[in-house]
Amino acid sequence: MPVLMPVVLAGLLFCIGVYGVLARRNAILVLMSVELMLNAVNINLVAFDVWLRDELLAGQVLTLFVITIAAAEVGIGLAVVLLVFRNRATSQLDELTELSEDREPLLHDHPPNFGADHAVAVAGEEGAPEPRGTS
C-alpha cells in the first residue's frame, strides 16, 4: 500500500475537522470536529508505525494514549458545556462574549467609560481622579 493513501486520508480528515471547528456555532458540534482532527492524527501515527516497523510499537501505543486522552477531553469538555448551559441557558459559542473587551455593559455593571478608564488609572499616579460628567 502506498504511504500516501493513509497520509492523504489523514490530511483530508484534519482539514474537515478544522472547517468544523471554525464554522460551527454549537459547542458540542465543535467537540465532534475536534474528534475528527484527533482521528486524523491517529491515522498518521498508525501508518508511520506500520511503515517504519517500529520495534517498540511507539506509534500504536501513542495512538492508544491519544484515544484515552480524547475520551478524557470529551468528558471534561461536555461537563464545561453543561455548566455553561446551566448558567447561561445556551450552548452557542458566539453568545458567550463575557470576556471580550468592547461589549455592551450589563445592567448592573459600572457605566460605560472604557476609553476614559485607562486614562484615569494612569493619571491617578499624580492625584485623585476628577469626577467626570458623563459617568
Minimum separation from the CB atom of position 48 to other proteins (A): 9
Minimum separation from the CB atom of position 15 to other proteins (A): 4
Distances in Å between the alpha carbon of 76 and those of 7, 29, 43, 72, 81?
30, 15, 24, 6, 9
Cell of 95: 453568545
**What does the DSSP 8-state code read for residue 92?**
B
Minimum separation from the CB atom of position 34 to other proteins (A): 11
Cell of 82: 453543561
Residues in the chain: 135
- Residue placing its CB nearer to other proteins in the complex, 61 or 133: 61
Minimum separation from the CB atom of position 105 to other proteins (A): 11
Helix (H) or strand (E) holding 15: helix 4-23
Q: Helix (H, G, I), strand (E, B), or coil: what is residue 111?
A: coil
CA 47 to chain centre: 27
